[in-house]
Amino acid sequence: MRKTVAALLLTGLVFTCKKKEETPVPQPAPPAPAATTSSATPAAKALTPVPNVSLPADAPIPGNGLALWLTGYDAMKSAAGGKLASWTNPLVPNVSASSSEKNAQPSVAAGAINGHAAVRFDGEANMLMTNIDISPASWPDVTVIAVFNSATEETSPLRSVYGDDNGDYDRSAGLDNRSGDEKNYVIFAGDRGVAGYFALKANQVYLSTDQYTATEFNGWVDGKPALTKFQTHWGEALPNMYIGGTGTSFNQFWKGDIAEMIVYARVLTDAERAKVEDYLAKKYGVTIGR
């Protein structure tokens, strides 16, 4: 596990993840940076019941299992002095992404992506804590859909769009140099370490759909399959999902814009996924490649 990597390296040992099957997989080396203390709000009890949100009949996305839906428009309405302390959406009540500490609060940029507002993370200290728990212990099946860009494609330091990582390669996605291939954008796969997802380019808008089950990850980028049926196994994670980083153990602050994020506490059907992706692609000028 990542928590013991530094100690193993000091004794000259080589760290590898235990393989769950015979096919070769990327290994998590070199070790991640030392744990740091986040300036985001300390963890609070997350919402755990599987939600069922009643959306208007003309809503562009399904409400069944909808756990979080945050848009740049909502961020603009909530921002004070250009800073975002709490990101909410009245259509999904009692759900938020927030920080009470000013240095952790990202800014809001009007017209950032295809004329729409986005939340801008500085890559230094900005990160928001949600009150939903995407760990397998709470929700074995989770779908995370995001529209975002990155101001950099460099993998050092590590950076994450979202996560709940306590040091054991928990459910997270972002820039990382340990995938073992040319793909600098990765997902964390628990005891299988780091898996390359796609090759991210700086200042390009992406629409990602990350589908987690208790044992598998499937990912689509701009509507196209990018990582399919990757076998995973996650253990205990942080009790809250963070946006703009991975949480309190390894911050991995994002540097770029997040225009919209949607989370379901279930796996979407192909038709449902296509509906959400088509809505987001049209809104943010993303070309769908399915």
Domain count, the chain: 1
How many Å apart are CA 213 and CA 231, to the nearest integer?
10
Residue 43's pLDDT is 43
- What averages of pLDDT result for each successive group of 10 residues across the chain (290 residues)? 39 33 39 42 49 90 96 96 96 95 96 98 98 95 98 97 96 95 96 96 98 97 98 93 96 98 97 98 94
Q: Which two tokens stand for residue 256?
A: 């770029």
CB atoms near residue 269 (< 10 Å): 10
How many Å apart are CA 10 and CA 24, to the nearest integer?
26
Helix (H) or strand (E) holding 271: helix 270-284
The answer to whether residue 58 is domain-embedded is no
How many Å apart are CA 184 and CA 181, to the nearest integer?
8
Q: Domain containing 237 — which CATH number?
A: 2.60.120.200
How many Å apart are CA 88 and CA 61, to the nearest integer?
17
Closest C-alpha among 211, 222, 221, 205 to residue 259: 205
Residue 289's pLDDT is 85
Residue 177 CA from chain centroid, whole number: 17
The answer to whether residue 16 is domain-embedded is no
The answer to whether residue 255 is domain-embedded is yes
The answer to whether residue 275 is domain-embedded is yes
Residue 50's pLDDT is 65
Domain range for 110 is 65-284
Task: Identify the residue whose tokens are 């300036």.
Answer: 39
The answer to whether residue 26 is domain-embedded is no
The answer to whether residue 115 is domain-embedded is yes
The answer to whether residue 48 is domain-embedded is no
Residue 51's pLDDT is 78
pLDDT in tens, 230-279: 999 998 999 999 999 999 999 999 999 999 999 999 999 999 999 999 99
Residue 33's pLDDT is 41
What predicted TM-score, i.e. pTM, was given to this entire model? 0.85
The answer to whether residue 40 is domain-embedded is no
Residues 121 and 148 sit within 8 Å (Cβ to Cβ): no
Residue 38's pLDDT is 44
Tell me whether strands 96-98 and 128-130 are parallel, antiparallel or unpaired: antiparallel
Residue 252's pLDDT is 97
